[in-house]
Structure 1
Amino acid sequence: MKKKNWYWVIALAFLGVVAGVILSQQYTSTSSTIEKEVPAKAEESQVDEEGFVEKGPGKRDDWFMTQKGYEEEEIPRDAFRKAVNQASDLRKMTSEEAPGALNQQWNFNAPSDIGGRVVDVVVDPKEQDTIYIGAASGGVWKSTDAGDTFESVWDDNLVQSIGAVAITPDGTLYVGTGEANPGGGSIVFGGTGVYRSDNGGESWEQIGLEESNAIGRIVIDPENPERVFAAATGPLFHEGEQRGLYLSEDGGDTWEKVLAGENETTGAVDIAIDSENPNRVYAAMWDRIRYPNKRQYGGEGSGIYRSEDGGASWERVTEGLPDSDLGRIGLAVSSTNPEKVYATVIQTSGYFEGFYISEDHGATWEKQDHPKNLANSQSSFGWWFGRNYVDPEDGDHIFVSGVQLMESKDGGQTWSATNGRKVHADQHGMAWDPKVPGRVYLGNDGGVYRSEDNGDVSREWIKATYEPYTQFYTLTVSREDPSRLAGGTQDNGSIRSWGEEGWNNYYYGDGLANLINYEDQDNVFACYQYGNCARSIDGGDTMINFTDETESDRRNWLTPLVFDPNDPSIMYYAGNILNRSTDGGETWEAISPSLSDAKSKDAYPFGTITTVAPAKSNSNTLYAGTDDGRLWTTNNLGEDWKEIEHEMLPDRWVTRVAVDPKDEKVVYATFSGFRSGDNAAHVLQSKDGGETWEDVSSNLPEVPLNDIIIHPKKRNVLYAASDVGVFVSPNGGKKWYSLGEGMPLVPVMDLQYHEPSGVLFAGTFGRGVYEIEPKGW
């Protein structure tokens, strides 16, 4: 296998690790006692002369992006959409050739009381207590009880990534697919355009902008509901396509681009309309693109534009605004004094630039002497938020989305923040209920909240009780009791199904690797980003961090932590060096040299181990895969390591290695990185311990695989988790079929087969946990 030339330098990710850890402790209800804490240190990013973010060892999760677009290669322009179509075709083929695989039922398992990222909220203008929300990777949901419980009103077969939701006075819904919040590590998925429903979400019609990829905002003309504006932010990974501001004069039947960006990387992200003069429209344009080795979240195309003729013509307004280094901008017009316009301006780096006010309909702007807490609310990733909101009854009552929700009651002179212990971090959407004075809804990374005090950040916010759209990175199931589940989740920590009523948090940060000892279910393990892992012998009530006991120079965002399949007191933990414990994680010993390269600690891929697979049939045999496309094996518990080199092995991130439980020489390896004409494999099989390999990707969609499982009794039966669902092969990969009905078209990150019950569990990134009993498969 060819050696890698490491020259990767990728951006500071969307949430600094220290900030994430601190905020998680503030906003998460937890019963855990942390006896030992090893927080990772976040460092500031650096920006070059062109406005590109170049480095930042405190990156949050470039893990996601780097898997998808390996090294210097691009993600193909239509990769996600193509994969969705291929998955649909495979499902049709399954119904014809193997209906038994499809005629199985996936059932939602849990959780329903945690929530997940909500990017937009709208209130039904007619129905009492009814709202609609857009979940970042979980579709559109409806509540008829004032935001307490939610039900899905989105087609399971549509792309689940949502960017914006809007509603007309007669209740017609518009949804823009594809999340516009880019993230540092880009844990967002593209969309397939704009959809419309005139029956409360019972059915949806695709009405255009199929190539827009991400929609930042949809706004309805307050005097003419047939006039609909859509801010097309554009594909994150490519130039061009349908970037810009679009207007429909016929309720979405046709669209016209009324404002193009200054270059091929500029799209529209926000819109505001003067309620007294709807011909006066404001638009925030955003120059933003993600390259494999750089992130540009600002540039010469970023700025504020104004139209005085309903969008027919536009001028860029610049007086009083910064001349350069403009990133994302959020806009809002005063509800009681439309001459006053508010703008939150973020620098290219992601840091707060300033809060600006115009007193003359946006012609000139003045930077305010903002307090420190307003700047701090954006942390170093202001591009993750980008929306402002104004009280419909009081134009001086302003809200700015950020890590905390920021509130000003005096037109932006002073600011107060939500209490992190009462309201989850990372705010995205707000909406007032015109039928109930003082009622305001809020969407953030923790789900939906309601205020009955006009959004007062110092007063009570009521969290939804049923919101089943959690984003799972990992999942684990107790062998003794399959109702006992735990998993790592995006911005909601490590969560468990026991310990309190319902699901609850037991370890903080972004939850990643989670384990339940298969002989003692009170012995549990949980990690947050970059391998900060802890163990517990009381079901997670007391967590003891053991990271310092391990040896590695570099640790991946999702650091592997696994049990030996024959003895759960034996465990493996992998940074760039593989560590082994024989006492249940109390002490650790390094059993390998560095198995992956890195030019420096700032390089990415980091040069880390990404998957570890101990063999059940021979405890001396281990396999390991890395983020630089290497496979390794040892037959003597690490005394000697052999790099597996073969022309069939693709130069790709290794996502998983699985070993046949009866024969340690039979091994499967899965890889990520979209195929772009080079026919790089997704799944390879070796029957001789890695000496030779066969591509068993067969008819799988061209999409990264996140996990693979070998059936413990039917050794030719394989289950594969992908960004577009779960697939099954009854013949060792010669042919693949869609598995089951009932699971939305959502990324599946982790699979767990519960052997005593024969139930397969799937941890999804946006729709929680699903389960299926694949009889005959």
Structure 2
Amino acid sequence: MNPVIRALTAALLGLAMLVTPTASQCPLCNFIIGEDPEEELEEMAAGGGIGAPYGADEWMTTQRTYPDKAVDLGQSRAKAIEQANVVRASGGFAAQAAWTSLGPTNVGGRVTDIVVDPVRSNTVYAGAASGGVWKSTNGGTSFSYSWNITLPQSVGALAISPAGVLYAGTGEGNPGGGSVSFPGNGIYRSSDGGVTWTLLGLTGTNRIGRIVIDPADANRIFVAAAGNLFVPGGARGLYRSTDAGATWQLVLAGANSTTGAIDLAISTTSVYVSMWDHVRTPGTRVYGGVGSGIYRSTDGGATWARLAGGLPASSSNLGRMGIAVSKSTPTRLYAIAANTSGNFLGMWTSTNSGTSWTALTNTGPVSSSQSTFGWWFGRIFVDPVSSSHLWVPGVPMVESTNSGSSWTSNSSSFHADQHAVGFDPLVANRVFIGNDGGIYRSTANGSLSGSWTKTTNLANMQFYTVAVSKQDISRISGGLQDNGSRRSWSNWGSYWGGDGLQNLIDPTNQNKVYACSQNGSCGRSTNGGTSMSNFGSTTSSRRAWLTPVTFDPTNPAIMYYGGERLNRSTNSAQTWAAISPDLSRGSSGSSTFNTISTIGVAPSNGAVIYVGTDDGRMWITRNTGGSWTEITAGLPTRFMTRVTVDPTDANLAYVTVSGYTAGDIAPHVFRTTNGGTSWQDISGNLPNAPVNDIVYNPQNRTVLFVATDVGVFTSSDTGVTWTTAGTGLPNVPVLDLDTTVSAGVTQLTAATYGLGMYRVAV
């Protein structure tokens, strides 16, 4: 679908949700989005003010920071990873089993960069947005995980030397607007093809946009550090090493405290860097400024000059820029720019190494491809053997074979949202593309009109939720960022469009399944998802990005749906009735915030329901919504992520909250034994990170499991001490857990945000 049409459609759908408060459904979503949803459907509200979060990024960021808008997410996450590794190293229960990856391997998630090994034949490396580094040894047909499980899993940039030495920069430089991007802790090197990795420093850079190696001197490496997205200052700008990464020098600082480096290119005579002035808070983003622009050095990085000669002048409206040099004709350059809002600003070419520039005029396809998300892309790739052949990533990829005079666009051969192109130096005409759906290969020199083959094995998906059948644990479904709701029993095909969010499988009938897309647009099925029907209308004026839906454990035909009011169905989501007033702190002007974030029904008494909100309130009803009592006292004013009620005692419940604050210590898990009259902090030695879920071991209710942004932890003493659950799970965010008993063994399934599904016997 044309991106402009797509954006208009999204706006209309969003408007419909706003002007029709009783409509819980987006009946057109599945028809319009189909099985290839695009990121821009999430980002239509870009530019919303403080207190008006929107989309996945705002949902996830607000969850991790509310109400502290100024928290340093990068530093907080780095500390949490260190703490998680300490817990991991301390061991755990005597018989810890190993986690197993469940995939899926045929879907794929966001790929940020691709490099092809110049020494090892058929060897390709890919950086994943939140899933580490992946390696193929069969020319891109399949990939395997090639990263250290203890390291940050967000990879922003890759580079490889002529001798096959691989470099990885952690922290995704694409700053997000629709899906969250995570920070990193510096740059790593592997001299053995990704088997082992060594930290080279630049630990405070937070996010790395690009790495280039001088083709004439492999010891000279340049790193574009975008810096901390949320907090000005720190390590950002262009860094250079002349000793293969042993030491680093800042050779170009930004114009101000929010200016970092985002793109790099190198020729036989010059080095070029794109500087980008940008910052964001959970409610606003300023993706441009006077510090943005392209600079050139002709003395190996010692001195720099801002390029003009036709390029945009310094301006508060100048956003992300991309720069590329032709390898075959080093004097030929290309540049692209967006404005602060992400709108396409222009594209230019130079034939004299960047001294003067000519604006390309026939850029309609490029503009359409960038849409309003220029901050998400900002790259150009030039064919190594032809200076006139180039690709510009966007929602669809666009290609020119005549230096930008005309363009070809392709939105049907591969998934939307392009980020990377890799050229095979050992196999002529073999080109790879990386996007939000994985990696695709061309053997026709990357021609968009030619055929493309998708990799068959790349498990770097970002799952929000997981559901497992109680009758057959091989039947798994889950909601995927930018890839819909997927089901294992149909080769992980999409059965509900949009961004996949809440998924449920009826515990008494695995053919009754439920799936939601963004903002509570949900469907139900009685045949395992082969055909879907919309939920009946619910009553709410606000719905979160991830709208909670849950079963009554005593009767799964009874279901609950949370907007700012709690809705109840007694006929498997066919009809609904509101059973609460507004349980939030009231509207702050957003249609997706100040909502219910978690619902817990007591398994021993279905009339007892706990409800938590994203703005820090907890409630209980003991008469199925007839009356409500607030039980917030004793809990922090934070985003309530999950409430779980004891299987036999309706007064015993656990609440998890988001974990980052501006201080050093943040509470995570709370326990009540009196229905919320009082709460006990049982965080113990958990890492200081958001806790996203808490579940029981159904065979031993004294054993708890929690999902955090840095892995899964367990306690057998109700939270006095916590240990790592299982072994071998990478240090990846886990957003949802499921416990299912099969053949007398409890199976714990984790939905990770970056590495697909994992499972361990506990």
TM-score > 0.5 by shorter chain: yes
Q: Deviations over 1:480-532 (max 9, x none)?
A: 11000000011111111012xx3211111111001111111111111111111
Residue 317 and residue 178 in structure 1: after superposition, are their counterparts in 2 closer, same or farther (change >3 A)? same
Task: Give me the whole-angstrom Cα distance separating, in 2, the residues matched to 1:191 and 1:767.
Answer: 16
Distance 1:680 1:197, change over 3 A: closer
The TM-score, its normalising length taken from structure 2, stands at 0.93
- CA distance in 1 between counterparts of 2:695 and 2:472 reads 20
Deviation larger for 666-675 or 313-322: 313-322
Mapped partners of 1:191, 1:264: distance in 2: 19
Q: CA deviation at 1:354?
A: 1.2
CA distance in 2, matches of 1:743, 1:600: 39
Report the 3-state secondary structure (helix = DSSP H, G, I; strand = E; otherwise coil) of the residue aligned with 1:269: strand
Per the alignment, residue 301 of structure 1 pairs with 291
2:254 pairs with 1:261: yes
Query: How much has 1:294 moved relative to structure 2?
Result: 2.2
Corresponding letter in the other structure for 1:65:
T
Structure 1 counterpart of 2:466: 475
1:430-449 mapped onto 2 (5 Å cutoff):
430-449=421-440
Find 1:71's aligned residue among 64, 67, 72: 67
What residue identity is the alignment partner of 2:511? D
Instruction: Return closer, same or farther for 1:255/1:335 CA change in 2, 3 Å cut-off.
Output: same
Candidates 130, 141, 156, aligned match of 2:134: 141
What displacement does 1:368 show? 2.2
CA contact (8 A) 1:177 1:194 kept: yes
Distance 1:692 1:490 in 2: 37
Alignment-mate amino acid for residue 94 of structure 2: G
Select which of 505, 518, 532 maps to 2:521: 532
5 Å-filtered alignment, 1:645-724, equals 645-646=632-633, 648-677=634-663, 679-724=665-710
Question: Match for 2:305 among 312, 315, 332?
Answer: 315
Question: What secondary structure, in the 3-state scheme, does the structure 1 residue paired with 2:489 have?
Answer: coil
Identify the residue that residue 735 of structure 1 maps to in structure 2.
721
Query: What is the 5 A alignment of 1:265-344?
Result: 265-274=258-267, 277=268, 279-323=269-313, 324=315, 325-344=317-336
1:674-712: CA deviation from partner (whole Å, max 9, x where unpaired):
133274421111100000111111111111001001223
Q: Distance in 2 between matches of 1:634 and 1:23?
A: 34
Q: Relative to structure 2, which stretch is displaced further, 701-710 or 358-367? A: 358-367
Q: Write out aligned runs for 1:367-766 (5 A).
A: 367-420=359-412, 422-499=413-490, 502-546=491-535, 549-602=537-590, 606-646=593-633, 648-677=634-663, 679-756=665-742, 757-766=745-754
The share of aligned pairs that are identical, in percent, is 48
Could you say if the C-alpha distance between residues 739 and 16 of structure 1 is closer, same or farther in structure 2, counting changes exceeding 3 Å?
farther
Could you tell me how far apart the structure 1 residues matched to 2:400 and 2:29 are? 22
**Letter matched to residue 472 of structure 1:** F
Q: Is the 8 A contact 2:689 2:708 kept in 1?
A: yes
In 2, the alpha carbon distance for the partners of 1:127 and 1:269 equals 29
TM-score by length of 1: 0.91
3-state SS in 1 of match to 2:158: strand
Partner of 1:203: 196
1:178 aligns to what? 171
CA-to-aligned-CA distance 1:322-351 (integer Å, 9 cap, x gap): 332111111111334333311110111112
| Cα separation, partners in 2 of 1:41 and 1:253, compared to 1, 3 Å | closer
CA distance in 2, matches of 1:16, 1:746: 35
Counterpart CA distance in 2 for 1:458 and 1:312 is: 43
Moved more, 458-467 or 69-78: 69-78
Cα distance in structure 1, aligned partners of 2:120 and 2:327: 24
Distance 1:24 1:314 in 2: 51
Task: Indicate whether 1:83 and 2:74 are aligned.
Answer: no
Where does structure 2 lack aligned partners over 5 or more consecutive residues?
Answer: 1-5, 14-25
Q: How far apart are residue 371 of structure 1 and its match? A: 3.7
Amino acid of the structure 1 residue aligned with 2:567: N
CA contact (8 A) 2:733 2:754 kept: yes
Kindly state the Cα deviation for residue 208 of structure 1 after the two structures are TM-superposed: 1.1
Q: Deviation at 1:755?
A: 2.7
Q: Partner letter of residue 352 of structure 1?
A: F
What residue is the counterpart of 1:110 in the other structure?
A: 103
Rounded Cα–Cα distance in structure 2 between residues aligned with 1:123 and 1:591: 58
Q: Aligned to 2:700, what secondary structure does the other structure show?
A: coil
- 1:708-734 Cα deviation digits (max 9, x unpaired): 012233222110000111110101111
Go from structure 1 to structure 2 and tell me whether the alpha carbon gap of 1:495 and 1:674 turns closer, same or farther (over 3 Å shift).
Answer: same
1:5 corresponding residue in structure 2: none
1:23–1:520 Cα change, 3 Å? closer
State whether residues 343 and 355 of structure 1, in contact with CA within 8 Å, keep that contact through their aligned partners in structure 2.
Answer: yes
- 1:391 Cα offset (Å): 0.7
Amino acid at match of 1:132: Y
User: What does residue 36 of structure 1 align with?
Assistant: none
CA positional deviation for 1:370? 3.5
> Is 2:214 the partner of 1:221?
yes
Q: Per the alignment, do residues 15 and 487 of structure 1 end up closer, same or farther by CA in structure 2, a change over 3 Å counting?
A: farther
Residue 248 (structure 1) aligned to one of 228, 234, 241: 241
The answer for unaligned runs of 5 or more in structure 1 is 1-13, 33-38, 48-52
8 Å Cα contact 1:132-1:143 kept in structure 2:
yes
Residue 8 of structure 1 corresponds to none
Superposed displacement of residue 600, structure 1: 4.4
2:19 corresponds in structure 1 to: none
Report how far residue 44 of structure 1 moved: 5.3
Q: Give the Cα–Cα distance (whole angstroms) in 2 for the partners of residues 261 and 632 of structure 1.
A: 48
Distance 1:24 1:364 in 2: 48
Q: Structure 1 residues 559, 285: CA separation in 2 closer, same or farther (over 3 Å shift)?
A: same
Q: Is the 8 A contact 2:65 2:661 kept in 1?
A: no
Whether the 8 Å CA contact 1:43–1:56 is kept in 2: the answer is no
Please state whether the residue corresponding to 2:84 is helix, strand or coil: helix
- Separation in 1, partners of 2:154, 2:256: 26
After superposition, give the CA deviation of every residue in 1:544-603 in whole Å (9 maximum; x if it has no partner).
Answer: 222x61111010000001111111111111111111111111111111111113444437
Q: CA RMSD in A?
A: 2.3
The answer as to whether partners of 2:699 and 2:746 remain within 8 angstroms in 1 is no
CA distance in 1 between partners of 2:564 and 2:237 (Å):
43
Q: Which amino acid aligns with 2:60?
A: F
SS in 1 for 2:749: strand
1:523, 1:265 → 2: CA distance? 50
Give the secondary-structure state (helix, strand or coil) at the position aligned to 1:449. strand
The one-letter code of the counterpart of 2:464 is: Y
